[in-house]
Amino acid sequence: MLGFSLPTEPPDDLLIIGAGPAGATAALYAARAGLRTRVVDKGLTAGALGMAGQIANFPGLPGPVSGVDLLRRMREQAASFGAQFVEDRVIGVDLRAEPKQVFAASATFAARAVILATGAMARAHPLPGEDRLIGRGVSYCATCDGAFFRDREVAVAGNTDEAVEEALTLTRFAARVHLLSPGAELRAAPHLVAELTAHPAVTLYPAARLLAVLGEERVEGVRFAVAGEERTLVVSGLFLYLQGNAPVVDFLGDQLPVGDSGCLSVDENFQTAIPGVFAVGDLLCRHLKQVVVAAAEGAVAAMAADRYLHGRERLRPDWAK
Ligand SMILES: Cc1cc2nc3c(=O)[nH]c(=O)nc-3n(C[C@H](O)[C@H](O)[C@H](O)COP(=O)(O)OP(=O)(O)OC[C@H]3O[C@@H](n4cnc5c(N)ncnc54)[C@H](O)[C@@H]3O)c2cc1C
């Protein structure tokens, strides 16, 4: 690829792009399997887990921990087995080269196998106030954060299956759920729409265009427009399911096919269309975006990468190493 420097070191066995729970767990399993493993990540607080407030549903934790603390522990555990972490931003790849090339802002890396684990944070046009209030009332996951809004009023923005299911989840906690649908119709499965519209704690606002999240320290309300008229709702939480959370694939160019939704396809071992290239975690547009899911996928992909690198037919269980 033109414009990028050549790698200065011999190729790694495995290069992982992204060190959230998916990438960090992949690094743990790969390093324990004896693979020369490098992880390139742009920062501890740049991904979903790094910016999550309290995590209370990851198994085995003595109590809630901050997302940053949990992530730091995951990375330290992987590093203790020899995984090498580099802080840098990946800006391009050549995945069909042998070895595969990964171009970061300040260096070029080469590896025989690659795991993509960059998450799903990208949204082309965040709302005014959205970035500032993430973790302070702005959330993308009712399953994660719904319990923090017991007896409060919340808004949900979106009209997909995910948005409607998450709105229904919130009715278990919130006093009232205001669903702002960007279109005149909900684009969810009929049984979900029927359940939602019949629910006494839900108010539906069709064709509502969300304009801003209000509040300085915490979410205090939302401003939206219906038929050209601006309105304000007083709410403590805003759950966003607009344009999904687009997967972070900008650095891939056109090397891997993505569907209309921008999501990569993988097989049961999380291998993409290119042999030796795997993808895991929120990047795959999972319906259930959770730390435990991302971590589990990272483990499966690392073992599949090990098998790819050693040409083995069957997965060797971790306990047999
Ligand atoms: C506010 C909030 C609260 C949440 N609460 C919970 C909860 O309570 N429980 C739960 O289970 N889940 C929760 N989640 C969801 C959970 O955090 C995600 O499902 C999980 O972090 C996904 O893991 P991942 O590794 O796929 O992606 P991420 O955690 O997003 O990690 C992706 C990593 O890739 C790196 N990266 C991205 N692009 C590049 C690049 N070009 N170059 C180098 N590195 C790059 C980022 O720096 C980041 O470290 C929450 C999410 C949010 C946003």
Q: Render pLDDT for 70-87 as a digit per residue (tens, 0 to 9).
A: 999 999 999 999 999 999
Residues 6+ apart with CB under 8 A from 118: 17, 18, 47, 90, 247, 248, 249, 251, 283
In the reported structure, the alpha carbon of residue 173 is separated from the centroid of ligand 1 by a whole-number distance in angstroms of 24
DSSP state for residue 215 in the 8-state scheme: -
What pTM did the predictor assign?
Answer: 0.77
Q: Is 103 within 8 Å of 4 (Cβ atoms)?
A: yes
pLDDT of residue 32 exceeding 80, the answer is yes
Q: Verify whether residue 141 is a known catalytic residue.
A: yes
Residue 114 near ligand 1, beta carbon < 6 Å? no
Q: Render pLDDT for 247-274 as a digit per residue (tens, 0 to 9).
A: 888 889 889 988 766 789 999 999 999 9
pLDDT number for residue 2 = 46
Q: Render pLDDT for 292-314 as a digit per residue (tens, 0 to 9).
A: 999 999 999 999 999 999 986 55
Burial class (CB in 10 A: 0-12, 13-18, 19+), 261: exposed
Catalytic residue among 141, 282, 285, 306: 141
Which of 116, 141, 245, 292 to mutate to test ligand 1, by most ligand atoms within 8 A of the CB atom? 141
In the reported structure, the alpha carbon of residue 308 is separated from the centroid of ligand 1 by a whole-number distance in angstroms of 26
State the closest ligand 1 atom to the C-alpha of 67, by its place in the atom list counted from 1: 17
**Tokens coding 285:** 């547009």
Question: Around 20, how many Cα atoms within 13 Å sit in the side-chain half-sphere?
Answer: 31
